Amino acid sequence: MSGKNVTEVVAPDAEGIARAVRILESGGLVAIPTETVYGLAARADSADAVAAIYAAKGRPDFNPLIVHVSDLAQAEQLAVFDERARDLADRFWPGPLTLILPLREDAAIAGAVTAGLPTIALRQPAHKAMRAVLEATGFPLAAPSANRSEGISPTRAEHVIASLGAACSLVVDGGASQEGLESSIVALRAGGGWNLLRPGPVTRETLERILGPETESEAIGIEAPGQLARHYSPGKKLRLSAARAEEDEFFIGFGLVQGDCTLSSAGDLNEAAARLYDCMHQAAASPKPRIAVAPIPYGEVGRAINDRLRRAAAD
């Protein structure tokens, strides 16, 4: 494995998981499937391992990482949980909800993980492969999306290799990610308020039913680059809400509007979310110099899909 300039791909079986675990234990990077997107994982308690994530992605150091945990008990060693936080973890973990909570002073976490913030982003992922790795290592894993910074997120092992190449020496191939969109990120504020920092599979409507109306934003500095205007970039001009495509445009369709790649012929938003990045990767690789995307409704996870498309369209 070492010294070779290729990425090794392993199955998510006992042998593959064991290889991933050995590399992580020694401070290396491994791309691991989750139900949202593939994560580029490293042990969160090692400054060197975390530095390697930032270097492999070309990620700016002010942009903190989500820490993945095996269970609530491990999460509570890292952050201060109040009743609301425990309730959300109870309802949605394991699953695609990330909580921003006060960082515990005694948390064994490299400083770069939180980019110096007094808070930490935590999630217990649901994917079998990621859970197996977390349970075997016993330490939490920092794991941003396994792509170069600003690029399209990976929902397949091939996407990881296309974006990171040999910067990541091992990919656990778990097939296509089921949700296909990054986790919803919720910051619980000390005064009882909350903010949705990144829309995702757990919708604002669902969160408002539990937490009450979202309070005015209390952003402290850069909180989520999912919040940066430009992100998820296909490297081409992208036109939104297009009824049809021009000759030189790769067309991403939805529902009755068929494209070169169609997010969901049935008009199913969950299917569209799961296929979004795969279609974006196809559009990026196509010889067509521009991209057009059919209108996507805003209901439920449609809001998160439109959020990603808007940032992909920004220049």
- Write down the least CB distance from residue 39 to ligand AMP, Å: 7
Q: Which one of ligand AMP, Mg ion, none interacts with residue 66, CB within 5 to 8 A by kind?
A: ligand AMP
Instruction: Kindly list the residues in this chain that would bind ligand AMP in the complex (CB under 6 A).
Output: 63-66, 100, 114, 117, 119-121, 144-145, 182, 185, 197-198, 223-226
Q: Which one of ligand AMP, Mg ion, none interacts with residue 122, CB within 5 to 8 A by kind?
A: none
- Write down the least CB distance from residue 208 to ligand AMP, Å: 20
- Write down the least CB distance from residue 63 to ligand AMP, Å: 5
Choice between 43 and 308, CB closer to Mg ion: 308
Q: Which range in 46-54, 138-146, 167-175, 294-302 contacts Mg ion by CB under 5 A?
A: 138-146
Choice between 131 and 311, CB closer to Mg ion: 311
- Lay out the site mask for Mg ion across 260-289 (x = CB under 5 A, - = otherwise): ------------------------------
For Mg ion, the nearest residue by Cβ is 145
Choice between 46 and 114, CB closer to ligand AMP: 114
- Where on the phi/psi map is residue 232: left (φ > 0), alpha (ψ -120 to 50), or beta? left
Q: Does 233 interact with Mg ion (rule: CB under 5 A)? A: no
Choice between 18 and 176, CB closer to Mg ion: 176
- Write down the least CB distance from residue 288 to ligand AMP, Å: 27
How far is residue 298's CA from residue 307's CA, in Å, rounded to a whole number?
Answer: 10
User: Which of 34, 98, 145, 155 contacts Mg ion by CB under 5 A?
Assistant: 145
Residues in touch with Mg ion (CB under 5 A): 145
